[in-house]
Amino acid sequence: MEWYDVGVFGYLIVTLGPVFLPEADTAAQVVFMLGTFASTYLLRPLGGLFFGWLGDKIGRKRVLFMTLALVASATFAIGLLPVYATVGILGSVLLVLLKMLQGFSAGGEFTGAITFISESAPDKKRGFYAAFLDAGSYLGFALGAALVTALQVFFGQQAMLDGLWRVPFLVAGPIGLIAIYLRLRVEESPQFNALLEARRHETGARRERLKLNPIRAFAENWRALLMVIVLVAAANSAGYAFTSYMPTYLSTVLEHDAVQSNLISLPLLLLMACSMPLVGMLSDRVGRKPVLFGASIWVIVLSVPAFALLGNDSLAGTILGLALIGIPVALYMGTLASTYPALFPTSSRTTNLGVSYNISIAVFGGTAPLVIDALIRATGNQFAAAFYLIGMSIIGLVAITLLRESAGHPLKGSEPNVETEREAHALNLQRTAGQ
């Protein structure tokens, strides 16, 4: 649901500008809409703190129900907004406020979800299962982008401007109801249930340690907090550049047809999404660090050639350039969903992760399209975007070097999680031998 909205909004930026800001020129409309997109991320750290604390207090499942309901409701409400021709600038203000509400709720959605999946998955397959979350996110993005593109192809851009732009947002209503129904049927994560049991039965100092204290949690895990901030910055600057900025870049900077730009990038989005579980499986086999190293080096070495290919005015060059940007994104996202939760203990996992992840997303992720667009316009150099991505991946490479390998190991502060009785028996034999 979260990424469905990102896909819809990202692919409608060129359309929504004239709808909500018709008196401005095209450049100002694009900047305003990119800024509106970035505003979604202003409240994400606060949402991450609130819903993260709540998730560590009352459980992952309940909080995930709340965040999903809020995201779906805000997306649906955007489809009902009055436009400039009806209420003037008030429509734009309401749009920004709804995007900020989305950001607040989404602050607890992704980090709560990756915590839930990681705590529920077997240790030896955590990368594979956790990667489905980002795969689902990108499929949601692709669904939103595909719906917008289909409407543009079959009805034309003028029909979109005349009100058809509302349909993709309104579709979020029934999709959200289905998603909420499914989410209500899942069980709480076994790791959190074990923590609740420990909180009930432990006494004295041990019981006090299990109680959630956010300030103490931040102080004890500050290195991991910084690690997540840097890794998120490196991965999501590339991720948002590919998903949310490339359609705008192709149509406004390189002056491709808007519909053609969407049609070019959509199949690559689907391929990326389908490849992420395979990337997660690879990280279970060879480790998280080697895959993340590969992603960082790829961005550092091939970003400039990628943007050179985008600007050579050939369809094959454009597709290859987009692929060179998209492949490391798949490597990053298919691995990091299982990497982040392993850095924090169960008792404060969603609180720590919610704050660190969303601070970085707010500063480096959601703002990436706006920053890249501003750099290109200020310098007049299309390679400014490549240099920005290179710089972020160099910083990320430092964090990856310092990262502790977590593939196949139990989550911090949790008992081992196995998939079969045979694995459990082998683990008991190891423990007996160790004693």
- Give the dihedral sign, CA 30/34/39/42: negative
pTM of the model: 0.83
pLDDT over 70 at 153, yes or no: yes
Q: For residue 405, what pLDDT is reported?
A: 94
pLDDT over 70 at 417, yes or no: yes
pLDDT over 60 at 305, yes or no: yes
Residue 403 region, left (φ>0) first, then alpha (ψ -120 to 50), else beta?
beta
- Give the dihedral sign, CA 376/380/383/387: negative
Residues for the chain: how many in total? 435
pLDDT over 90 at 287, yes or no: yes
- 137: DSSP letter: H
Using DSSP's 3-state secondary structure scheme, residue 386 falls into helix
Q: Cα–Cα distance between 356 and 397 in angstroms, integer?
A: 18
The predicted model gives 103-116 an average pLDDT of 87
Digit-coded pLDDT (tens) for 200-258: 766 555 555 555 667 787 888 899 999 999 999 999 888 888 877 777 777 766 666 66
The predicted model gives 44-51 an average pLDDT of 90
- Give the dihedral sign, CA 38/42/45/49: negative
Residue 59 region, left (φ>0) first, then alpha (ψ -120 to 50), else beta?
left
Using DSSP's 3-state secondary structure scheme, residue 334 falls into helix
Full set of structural domains in the chain with CATH: 2-434 (1.20.1250.20)
352 to each of 1, 64, 111, 344, how far by Cα in Å?
23, 16, 9, 7
Q: Cα–Cα distance between 212 and 204 in angstroms, integer?
A: 15
Q: For residue 199, what pLDDT is reported?
A: 67
- 221: DSSP letter: T
Burial (0-12, 13-18, 19+ Cβ within 10 Å), 162 = exposed
What DSSP string describes 274-327? HHHHHHHHHHHHH-HHHHHHHHHHHHHHHHHHHHHHHTTS-HHHHHHHHHHHHH
Q: Cα–Cα distance between 388 and 368 in angstroms, integer?
A: 9
Q: Cα–Cα distance between 159 and 258 in angstroms, integer?
A: 14
Q: Cα–Cα distance between 153 and 294 in angstroms, integer?
A: 38
Angle at 111 between CA 193 and CA 238, to 5 degrees: 155
The predicted model gives 350-359 an average pLDDT of 90
Tokens 């692709």 label which residue? 142
Q: Cα–Cα distance between 388 and 63 in angstroms, integer?
A: 35
Digit-coded pLDDT (tens) for 11-46: 788 889 899 989 888 888 888 888 888 788 788 889
| Average pLDDT score over the chain | 86
